[in-house]
Structure 1
């Protein structure tokens, strides 16, 4: 529910209230009101707020014990009848606080990513989609390749263009500001038709707790991913079958990306195999029955 705008009156005649990522004082009040009136509650969380403030200094004033947002979130977990999350590490951290815990696979709506039309283009599009990362080696690899090869262009969709890209000819970069409207986001990425996208991730507890959304969305848009050899990707990507891994150095990232640039046939094979896996295990259609089962359990 929209915890900042909802009122106690909105709880009338409700059987189940879903709180998503709630961390406000008002949200905690609404959660307690539900408990007082025997209204079933479900709390959903997809980021590991137990560790965010400890591992990322910029969030220390929000997500550390004693800070109001952290305490409100924890109160909501403790008061909710059921807590739902999407990764094993986060489930492990939530379990001591949750009354009942359900772990669901994350999902992607493949219908928002229409199949791309085959073309005979001679330029490969490589790049990155998402918020900027502390692990910049993948970006350094993209820049290194772009400055040495004239058969690639770069596509970046983020909150800003990484500073590493300043040395690349701007006519070879397609930059799109990140979109929070998911339909618009999917349409923009699909229209750009990237061939290879990188998915760097750090080796922190917060990051290993993340959903493998990059794998799902890279696959959905018809691209092939190069992923950090770390969670959450180790548990979802099969190396050499549904993507490639890179180690924590620029050479490893560069080699993996170049392998895919130089072999369109292999790219197509990996893309098709990844799409089959995502469609079978992580599409909204595949996950929906589990989601409905979860709602029925939450209703009691």
Structure 2
């Protein structure tokens, strides 16, 4: 089919994933695939014209359920993008509690199982999600080199060892936290830098730096490129949720000429050639110490790994190349969608949205209660109703 394919990205909030996805969608523009972005909470029927294909991005909020039901009833095509295994999140964090809630699971599973296409970026996640929808496709990950064009790394004689991530990554840092003090003692020129999350039991000091988390991916990747890390850390605890993640750290370290040390599990074991583009290590404390020591003591090895990774990332992940695959996928989806569509009914949507908003409120209160009891619930309510100054 000729003409522009119109994709409406529907997101719950602006996070790193949505910023990344916008990069590939913008790159698809030159291939005849246009896109717009709308928040799920502000989505209106008028946003979904007959020639528009909605793509729900990581949406599990109860509000996604009435929208998915409305589209199914009207014989409208939609896609769903997911890059994490929300069913297998470990621990008892608020995030884990949220995704274990029956209503969240119901919304997530209905939206995924009825999508005309589910997009993932890893074969591990594809195997899991395919149990809900056989129309699941693995599309390649990417990196937008334009984000760091002209960015100059800061000049330093320090051997900086870095990690950046969200607070949800704190348990993964347990793999490397025991070796930090040992490395600092043995190698006086080493500095550890953490952005967004600090390992448990590790204190900020002259040789341990902390930088606040930012949800702006463009600013984050520029920050990483300027820090001039000699070594980048990519620890992942070995469990199903982590095995379903994408290879973000490898792409970022490679693009920024950083020698990376990666947990020897998917996604990294799928793409990193050990001792060529990075180092793969198991979960033992001694393995992380030995890998760090090897790269600290051999700057020539760091340079080789960093250069090889850069060339590999440039050849395999450059967004301008990868966008061809994504655009082809959306064009095939557009060709398959039914032209025998029905109008979207506002009346059937309004009542469902009302109930889902009540459910969403109950879920958030339950999560906050588990996090901090009645006191935190009251604080959050007061904060919501207090007039702004």
TM-score (norm 2): 0.71
What is the aligned partner in structure 1 of residue 163 from structure 2?
A: 128
Per-residue CA shift, 1:13-39, capped at 9, x if unaligned?
Answer: 442111101112221211222223333
Match of residue 87, structure 2, among 50, 55, 58: 50
Whether 1:215 aligns to 2:250 is yes
Deviation at residue 62 of structure 1 after TM alignment:
2.7
Deviation at residue 220 of structure 1 after TM alignment:
1.7
1:278-289 to structure 2, matched below 5 A, reads 278-289=313-324
| 1:39–1:119 Cα change, 3 Å | closer
What is the aligned partner in structure 1 of residue 188 from structure 2?
A: 150
What is the aligned partner in structure 1 of residue 288 from structure 2?
A: 253
- Structure 1: distance between partners of 2:244 and 2:153: 36
Q: Which has the larger radius of gyration?
A: 2
Per-residue CA shift, 1:26-65, capped at 9, x if unaligned?
Answer: 212112222233332010000012222xx3333553333x
Q: Which has the higher helix share?
A: 2
What is the aligned partner in structure 1 of residue 99 from structure 2?
A: 63
| 1:242–1:116 Cα change, 3 Å | farther
Q: Which runs of 5+ in 1 are unaligned?
A: none
Deviation at residue 119 of structure 1 after TM alignment:
8.1
1:123-202 to structure 2, matched below 5 A, reads 123-131=158-166, 132-135=169-172, 136-159=174-197, 161-166=198-203, 170-202=205-237
Task: Confirm or deny: 8 A CA contact 2:153 2:225 kept in the other structure.
Answer: no
| 1:259–1:103 Cα change, 3 Å | same
Q: What count of residue pairs does the alignment treat as equivalent? A: 294
Deviation at residue 181 of structure 1 after TM alignment:
0.3
Q: Quick one: higher RCO (CA 8 Å, sep 6+), 1 or 2? A: 2
**Aligned-pair RMSD on alpha carbons?**
2.0
SS of residue matched to 1:18: strand
Deviation at residue 9 of structure 1 after TM alignment:
2.8
SS of residue matched to 1:71: helix
Match of residue 60, structure 2, among 10, 19, 23: 23
SS of residue matched to 1:57: coil
What is the aligned partner in structure 2 of residue 75 from structure 1?
A: 110
| 1:17–1:119 Cα change, 3 Å | closer
| 1:137–1:93 Cα change, 3 Å | closer
| 1:174–1:36 Cα change, 3 Å | same
What is the aligned partner in structure 2 of residue 262 from structure 1?
A: 297
Q: Which runs of 5+ in 2 are unaligned?
A: 1-9, 11-38, 337-389
Per-residue CA shift, 1:84-114, capped at 9, x if unaligned?
Answer: 1011111111112215121112112122123
Task: Confirm or deny: 8 A CA contact 1:218 1:224 kept in the other structure.
Answer: yes
